[in-house]
Amino acid sequence: MKFDQKSSDKLFSKAKELIPGGIFGHYKYAVRNEGPKFFSKAKDAYFWDVDGNKFIDLICGWGPMILGYNNPVIDKAAQEQYSLGNTVSVASPVMIELAETLVDTVEIAEWALFGKNGGDSTQLAVMISRQETGKDKVLKIDGGYHGANGWMQREGSPGTIDSDSSEVISIPWNNIEEFDSAISTFENEIACFISSPFHHPTSEDNVLPKKGYWEHIQKVCNEKNIIIIVDDVRTGFRIDLAGSNKAFNFSPDLVCLGKAIANGYPISALVGKNYLKEAANKVYFSGTQFFNSAPMAAAIATINELKNIDATSLMNHHGNDLKNKMISMAKSFDVDLRVTGVPSMPYFRIENDDKELHFKWVDNCLAKGIYMTSYHNHFLSAVHRESEIDLIVSLASKAFEEIIEV
């Protein structure tokens, strides 16, 4: 089925004249010839594109919209703070209230610092680790994404230089032997191990930690004075409000938060254990907009609302429902649909020699009105309720009907 996208296409042509690539950064990769490119409005779990097409959104702004678009509770909290002042020459007490909220909420948090994007938190976490340990190297996971700074990008990425990644060691996920081998090869050189709590690479099945993995990492890092940084930027608040590490039974030194922390208002946070407070105090890290108080008020309201409605349980419940219904719906077309990751962040992949079937199905889902991707995990929010799950499954089923003969 084709849908009208004249306005999207027209705007995209104009954008390409003015903006390199038309749409840049991670949004660029989601642009498809046939698909929405610009929104006109959004509400709860839905958005409308500039041509008036309505989409049930399984991407949630790439994570942030954990309580749905235009959530009145969060918007009110932000608006009230905007009306008092947002960027003022001194900080607002709301900053302290947010730090206290995080310390009370996130298990390992004894202090908090703030930035704008997830990449600020991960950058700061590495700097604090280097300051504390006096060591240079960063141990990370192959295909792990931590932001757009030079060292975080794949080696050889356009615009990066060799020295960006010369202190970065990358090992495969869930591989204790490779981890141990890196530790002994670079004895006394590794400042930190940075990883998401589970592996959510692009274009691959998402993989949970195997039994004993994080316990082993924790034991070795503690022995060798290596700081454990959990990058909870994508997973934060969708697995456990107290930190995703809780679900996997380990205790990192630093936790990076971003995306869902303020339901779309621009703020990120780094929280840590007390013994790193002095190092955190010494490292210079800042940005002109870091003290915006309205996003801080939005973050407090978001965390409180997530607690009030027990959002994590809701997302997990509906995520499980979505997973089970999608798998059995696909089975009725004789399709083996793999759903990996955690229920609130499902990654879908059709198991088939012909990869094209997967791409065709996702394109068709989009044409039917589900905003989803073929290469990235999806995000549920607390406003993806039973009716949204049933709508997704019924549209996804129609998408199969057109490409599979039963």
Ligand X SMILES: Cc1ncc(COP(=O)(O)O)c(C=O)c1O
User: In the complex with ligand X, which residue's Cβ is closer, 260 or 392?
Assistant: 260
The reply on whether position 234 binds ligand X by CB under 6 A is yes
Other CB atoms within 10 Å distance of the CB of residue 117: 17
CA-angle at 24, arms to 22 and 25, nearest 5°: 170
- Smallest CA-to-CA distance from 383 within 75, 79, 78, 71 is with 71
Question: Interface with ligand X includes 117 (CB under 6 A)?
Answer: yes
Smallest distance, ligand X to C-beta of residue 280, A: 19
Judged by CB under 6 A, the stretch of 113-121, 170-178, 184-192, 359-367 that binds ligand X is 113-121
**Total number of residues binding ligand X (CB under 6 A)?**
12
Dump the DSSP string for 41-110: EEEBTEEEETTS-EEEESSGGGTT-TT-BT-HHHHHHHHHHHHH-SS-SS--THHHHHHHHHHHHSTT-S
Give the residue, chosen from 46, 69, 114, 145, that forms a contact with ligand X under the rule CB under 6 A. 145
Tokens of 270: 């780094």
Positions in 235-294 near ligand X (CB under 6 A): 258
149 burial via Cβ count (<10 Å: 0-12, 13-18, 19+): middle
Q: How many residues are listed for the chain in this entry?
A: 406
**Segment interacting with ligand X (CB under 6 A) among 78-86, 231-239, 269-277, 305-313:** 231-239
Q: Does 196 bind ligand X (CB under 6 A)?
A: yes
Helix (H/G/I), strand (E/B), else coil: 154: coil
Judged by CB, which is closer to ligand X: 152, or 350?
152
- Binders of ligand X among residues 290 to 349 (CB under 6 A) are none
Tell me the closest approach of the beta carbon of residue 60 to ligand X, in angstroms. 12
Minimum CB separation from ligand X for residue 118, in Å?
2
Are residues 119 and 147 in contact, defined by beta-carbon separation less than 8 angstroms?
yes
For ligand X, which residue of 61, 147, 201, 243 counts as binding (CB under 6 A)?
A: 147
Task: Report the alpha-carbon distance of residue 406 to residue 400 in Å, rounded.
Answer: 10
Where does this chain touch ligand X (CB under 6 A) — which range of 204-212, 229-237, 315-323, 339-347? Answer: 229-237
Is there binding between residue 231 and ligand X (CB under 6 A)? yes
- DSSP H or E run through 114: strand 111-115
Scanning 103-111, 139-147, 244-252, 315-323 for contacts with ligand X by CB under 6 A, the matching segment is 139-147
Q: Which residues would be at the binding site for ligand X (CB under 6 A)?
A: 117-119, 122, 145-147, 196, 231, 233-234, 258
